[in-house]
Amino acid sequence: DSPYRLVLLRHGESEWNQKNLFTGWVDVDLNEKGEREAARGGELLTAEGLLPDVLHTSLLRRAIRTAQIALDKADRHWIPVRRSWRLNERHYGALQGKDKAQTLAEFGEEQFQLWRRSYDTPPPVLDDGAEFSQAADPRYAEIPSEVRPRTECLKDVVVRMLPYWYDAIVPDLADGRTVLVTAHGNSLRALVKHLDGISDEAIAGLNIPTGIPLLYELDADFKPLTPGGRYLDPDAAKAAIEAVKNQGKK
């Protein structure tokens, strides 16, 4: 039996990644570097012969465009697509739109790390009327208002992401399709936590770089054959992971 093939791809660098701002559900675009990363991601897929049969994305432009650019490069722009808010980035609550370095300076290292990387401490709630709220965004109208996030910790992301994993992604894998998931730093951390069975404590130390495809080959129980999977460009991934880790300190 050949293993199931799952490719995870965090979007390329966004305008707000570049500015070092907390983004969450704010729908910012890729910058030029991000577009180049996405194209390179598509080239890496082609070079490995990893041609996706189906795409799953979040509802956010930076993930959607990353997939379009990468798949275009791989000549797979035509494959079927499903999109879900359940793959969206973690809702960053009242931190959305705030500068990461300023937040670190204002609240200190411990609080900053709790908000950014603890498993179960969400940032303060973002009010519905606030500048960077998505409360009135029609793309989220289908989410019952009591479920619609106003802030999330990683644990909340795991809870809302897992139903999509089991109901939408696993069936595609079970059909033998090579599945591409384009999503975000924290929604992918949630998925990797599940796949690799990472503890609530250890997940704080896991960071995902932009634009580098991460291949998971999965066994019959949809568990990784190799823990952590394999980045298609491991050297670039290593450097980029360090950069994500140190983001407040720019």
Residues that bind ligand DG2 (CB under 6 A): 10, 14, 17, 22-24, 89, 92, 116, 184-186, 244, 247
C-beta closer to ligand DG2: residue 4 or 149: 149
Q: How far is the CB of 1 from ligand DG2 (least distance, A)?
A: 34
Q: How far is the CB of 10 from ligand DG2 (least distance, A)?
A: 6
Q: How far is the CB of 23 from ligand DG2 (least distance, A)?
A: 4
| Residue 91 is a catalytic residue | no
DSSP string of 52-76, one letter each residue = -SEEEE-SSHHHHHHHHHHHHHTT-
What are the phi and psi torsion angles at 76 (to 5°)? Answer: -120, 25
C-beta closer to ligand DG2: residue 118 or 178: 118
C-beta closer to ligand DG2: residue 89 or 172: 89
How many Å separate Cα 93 from the centre of its chain?
A: 17
C-beta closer to ligand DG2: residue 23 or 178: 23
Q: How far is the CB of 107 from ligand DG2 (least distance, A)?
A: 14
Catalytic, out of 11, 56, 91, 184: 11
Residue nearest to ligand DG2 (CB): 185
Contact criterion met (CB below 8 Å) for 198 and 228: no
Q: How far is the CB of 159 from ligand DG2 (least distance, A)?
A: 18
Catalytic, out of 13, 37, 56, 89: 89
C-beta closer to ligand DG2: residue 4 or 92: 92
| Residue 11 is a catalytic residue | yes
Q: Which residues are catalytic?
A: 11, 89
